[in-house]
Amino acid sequence: MRPIEGLSILITGGGSGLGEATARHFAERGARVTITGRRADRVAAAAAAIGCNGVAGDVTDAADRQAMIDAAVDHGGGKLDVLFNNAGNMYRAPIEALEADKLFDIFNSNVLSAMLLTGLAVPHLAATRGAVLFVGSVHTRRSFPTASPYAATKGALQTLTQVLAAELGDRGITVNCVIPGSIPTEINVRAGLMTDQEVRDRAAALLSAQAIPEIGQGSDIAEAVDYLARAQWVTGAILDVDGGMGLGVTRA
């Protein structure tokens, strides 16, 4: 395991949710963290609270992607060790009601931008024998009606993880993916996947299928990201951090 202190890490979508929790985890342990996000006020507030570098920008914009890489390398003392592709959007609709522009948007946000940002990061990561991480979804383990657009993007990222692990391994770069379970992030609440009442009661349908019937926390994902970012002989892994939700537990 490489030491965490002094690691230079870029976290997209770091102004809230899993990205913010992961940024806090690394910053508290001495890493040089740069977070990004489209909402400048949210990114600035999160960066100030965490004590890290914040860069406002949209991962779907080519100039913004380059600015993110440059900022992270500069903040990291001239290097980049870890890229955590965490930014993403949600779009749900019945298959017969899908809208082409929204499909293009979610694939651009969740898949294409992550691929292009990773390409920009590769020369820097090769120099440090660094790590790339993606975020998958339990939607690829269990089927949720009307979630085909989101599930398809996450399935693409999980396949991409293994392809890039093979492609970049001889350059010393590890590529892994973490699959979060039922965690009350803003994207879940916005999409109607999880309400405040469900979080309080711990009785939503999401929990009934988990081996451990408890809501996860951002810190659970941060710990998994920490391991995958620093383990130097683990690559191509798809790590489920979901309380056993993917098992499809049935309780009598």
Number of H helices, E strands in the chain: 10, 7
Active site residue 227: no
Angle value at C-alpha 13, between 154 and 235, nearest 5 degrees: 50
Count of C-beta atoms within a 10 Å radius of residue 230:
18
Q: Which residues pair with 180 in a beta bridge?
A: 241
**Angle at which helices 40-50 and 17-28 cross, to 10°:** 30
Q: In whole angstroms, what is the distance from residue 106 CA to residue 162 CA?
A: 21
202 secondary structure, DSSP code: T
Which of 43, 136, 150, 235 is catalytic? The answer is: 150
What amino acid positions are annotated as catalytic residues?
Answer: 150
